[in-house]
Amino acid sequence: MNLLLSIEERRAKTGGPAFPSSHNGFGMTIRDYFASKAMGGLISNNSTDAQEIAQAAYIVADAMLERRKV
């Protein structure tokens, strides 16, 4: 079983790099970027459970990635 994703598989799953760099093409993914933005809103709502915040942030990020496909 190959544990490494191809570039195409990684891009499909994560939305690709949010801030691509010329030296390696990787970095923060769009999914991570969306999750970090959602996390700020969740924290400002006085949420304190880090696991719940992280899970909710990625649920929002995944929904945003799905919406981009429309």
Q: What per-residue confidence (pLDDT) applies to 1?
A: 43
Read off the pLDDT of each residue in 2-18 and give the average, rounded to a whole number: 68
- How far CA 42 is from CA of 48, 65, 66, in Å, comes to 9, 18, 20
What does the pLDDT read at residue 17?
A: 72
Q: Please, how many CA atoms are within 13 Å of residue 29, restricted to the half-sphere of its CB?
A: 17
Asked if 38 contacts 12 with a C-beta cutoff of 8 angstroms, the reply is: no
Q: Is the pLDDT of residue 8 over 90?
A: no
11-64 per-position pLDDT tens digit: 777 777 776 665 655 677 888 899 999 998 888 877 778 899 999 999 999 999
pTM above 0.85? no
| Coil, helix or strand at residue 68 | helix
Q: Tokens representing 32?
A: 């991570």
